[in-house]
């Protein structure tokens, strides 16, 4: 029951944290849930929770062994489907041997059609890059399959691609690859289990590489961060509903980064300079790329619609701004490591918002009695409405500013923009 409630709470809170969560090719997931999800790990812990809170069946997760140090923590973490993975620093080789118990339990769960999510890179790294896949995912698949070879045990590769992982209301795309079935490697596994584990690991690496937005040269990370928003603005999507099956821009961004990886040093530097010149020109004209990419959004009909709904949006803002601002401030104060910021801020928000609702519900119960039961709806729903309204208003305002430009100024900016996109093969 604890896991069920927390899973729902996490799912709905992620719809607030992200403007949109996309589930690319989710139809590739087999109907029989003898599944191990192999997931990349670009943030601290949002990746597995975002996936696990949206799977048909509740999943099990792997967590650092030192988090299970005392009995209360161990009891709670197990109740919410977390299993310990120990490192030598958590207690030497004796602690590492305890991973055998975790592996035995998790493979039993897989056979019972309770999927496990493994962060297949083994380490968290805040970057747009797929790191080397570790052997543990493949090893676990074969260990589960050996317990019941009639079951279609498989690894489902999943790639998490963020538009901006530390930015509130950014987007997340979870792309599913074709499953890798243990039974397809049965003959090879009989001959050489170790070599077969290596073969499956290499295949998992290949399939994830096809989905992860991967900047090959770390020196081009900043260039990629400047390029990708321009592509995203070219293919906008509505903020509602909070989930969708197809991202309008993720596959295009992936192809563009692959093209960026192929550019030589001179061409990459030229592209970087072109983007800097373009951004400087936007600033001089006091306009934005998103407004330029969506010039028709700033029309009078939408302005009237936004005005009509503005009072409802302001109610949502006033009810939720205090706790949102407090959470942001606390996260900035406590978190210094970029790879943890987005995850910790979201986790703080979970706890702080729950306390915030409890306080308001108690106050409402004193004043209005049974009407207090509506507080859990009265606060978050207008708050979510405000976020969607504000994003629409912001784009409308940026689009309306484009109309203040002369046709020559607009054409100049569009020419610069299109030349940038053409360098990486993006047509708009």
* Residue 385 and residue 273 share a domain: no
Beta strand 60-64 pairing with 82-85: parallel
How far apart CA 421 and CA 413 sit, in angstroms, is 13
Last residue within a domain, chosen from 185, 214, 243: 214
* Residue 170 and residue 97 share a domain: yes
* Residue 391 and residue 246 share a domain: no
How far apart CA 35 and CA 192 sit, in angstroms, is 23
DSSP SS3 for 406: coil
> Is residue 409 in some structural domain?
no
Residue 93 pLDDT: 66
* Residue 175 and residue 50 share a domain: yes
Total structural domains within the chain: 3
CB neighbours (10 Å) of residue 277? 12
Last residue within a domain, chosen from 193, 214, 235: 214
* Residue 159 and residue 17 share a domain: yes
How far apart CA 305 and CA 176 sit, in angstroms, is 38
* Residue 251 and residue 327 share a domain: no
> Is residue 291 in some structural domain?
yes
Digit-coded pLDDT (tens) for 246-286: 999 999 999 999 999 999 999 999 999 999 999 999 999 99
* Residue 275 and residue 369 share a domain: no
Number of H helices and E strands in the chain, helices first, is: 17, 9
* Residue 254 and residue 276 share a domain: yes
* Residue 249 and residue 324 share a domain: no
Q: What is the pTM of this model?
A: 0.93
> Is residue 231 in some structural domain?
yes
pLDDT in tens, the chain (428 residues): 888 999 999 999 999 999 999 999 999 999 988 999 999 999 878 999 999 999 999 999 988 877 888 888 889 889 999 998 876 665 656 666 778 888 999 999 999 999 999 999 988 888 999 999 999 999 999 999 999 999 999 999 999 999 998 999 999 999 999 999 999 999 999 999 999 999 999 999 999 999 999 999 999 999 999 999 999 999 988 888 999 999 999 999 999 999 999 999 999 999 999 999 999 999 999 999 999 999 999 899 999 999 999 999 999 999 999 999 999 999 999 988 887 899 999 999 999 999 999 999 999 898 888 888 888 888 999 999 999 999 999 999 999 999 999 999 999 999 999 999 999 999 87
Last residue within a domain, chosen from 214, 231, 266: 214
> Is residue 410 in some structural domain?
no
> Is residue 82 in some structural domain?
yes
Is-contact 23 97, C-beta < 8 A?
A: no
* Residue 158 and residue 306 share a domain: no
By CB neighbour count within 10 A (0-12 exposed, 13-18 middle, 19+ buried), where does 264 fall?
A: exposed
Q: Is residue 209 within a helix (H) or strand (E), and if so which, with residue range?
A: helix 193-209
* Residue 9 and residue 136 share a domain: yes
> Is residue 408 in some structural domain?
no
Residue 86 pLDDT: 78
Token pair of 146 as six digits: 């050996």
> Is residue 283 in some structural domain?
yes
Give residue 248's domain range.
220-295+417-423
Close Cβ partners of 306 (under 8 Å, ≥ 6 residues apart): 389, 392, 393, 396
Token pair of 79 as six digits: 């109740």
Domain containing 90 — which CATH number? 3.40.1130.10
Digit-coded pLDDT (tens) for 316-343: 999 999 999 999 999 999 988 887 899 9
| Residue of 415, 417, 398, 419 whose CA lies nearest to 286 | 398
Close Cβ partners of 210 (under 8 Å, ≥ 6 residues apart): 177
> Is residue 25 in some structural domain?
yes
* Residue 196 and residue 105 share a domain: yes
What interhelical angle do 2-17 and 71-79 show, nearest 10?
A: 70
């Amino acid at each position: 029951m604890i896991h069920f409630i927390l899973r729902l709470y996490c799912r709905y809170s992620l719809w607030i944290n992200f403007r949109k969560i996309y589930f690319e090719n989710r139809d590739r997931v087999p109907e029989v849930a003898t599944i191990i999800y192999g997931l990349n790990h670009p943030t601290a812990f949002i990746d597995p929770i975002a996936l696990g809170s949206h799977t048909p069946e509740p999943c099990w997760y792997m967590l650092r062994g030192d988090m299970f140090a005392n009995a209360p923590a161990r009891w709670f973490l197990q109740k919410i489907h977390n299993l310990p993975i120990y490192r030598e620093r958590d207690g030497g080789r004796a602690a590492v041997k305890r991973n055998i118990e975790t592996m035995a339990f998790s493979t039993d769960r897989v056979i019972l059609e309770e999927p496990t999510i493994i962060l297949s890179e083994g380490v968290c790294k805040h970057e747009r890059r797929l790191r080397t896949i570790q052997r543990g995912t493949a090893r676990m698949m074969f260990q589960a399959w050996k317990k019941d070879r009639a079951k279609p045990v498989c690894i489902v590769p999943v790639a998490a691609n963020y538009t901006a992982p530390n930015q509130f209301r950014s987007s997340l795309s979870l792309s599913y690859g074709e499953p890798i079935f243990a039974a397809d490697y049965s003959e090879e596994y009989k001959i050489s289990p170790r070599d077969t584990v290596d073969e499956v690991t290499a295949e998992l690496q290949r399939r994830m590489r096809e989905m992860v937005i991967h900047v090959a040269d770390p020196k081009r990370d900043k260039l990629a961060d400047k390029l990708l928003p321009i592509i995203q603005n070219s293919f906008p999507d509505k903020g509602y509903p909070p989930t969708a099956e197809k991202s309008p821009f993720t596959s295009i961004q992936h192809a563009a980064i692959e093209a960026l990886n192929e550019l030589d040093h001179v061409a990459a530097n030229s592209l970087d300079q072109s983007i800097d010149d373009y951004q400087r020109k936007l600033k001089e004209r006091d306009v934005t790329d998103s407004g330029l990419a969506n010039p028709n959004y700033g029309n009078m009909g939408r302005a009237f619609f936004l005005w009509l709904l503005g009072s409802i949006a302001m109610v949502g803002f006033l009810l939720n701004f205090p706790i949102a601002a407090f959470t942001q401030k606390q996260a900035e104060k406590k978190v210094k490591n970029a790879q943890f910021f987005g995850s910790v801020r979201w986790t703080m928000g979970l706890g702080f918002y729950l306390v915030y609702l409890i306080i308001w519900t108690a106050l409402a119960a004193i004043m209005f009695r049974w009407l207090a039961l509506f507080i859990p709806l009265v606060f978050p729903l207008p708050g979510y409405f405000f976020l969607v309204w504000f994003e629409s208003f912001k784009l409308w305002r940026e689009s309306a500013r484009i109309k203040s430009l002369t046709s020559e100024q607009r054409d100049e900016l569009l020419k610069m923009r299109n030349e940038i996109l053409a360098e990486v093969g993006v047509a708009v």
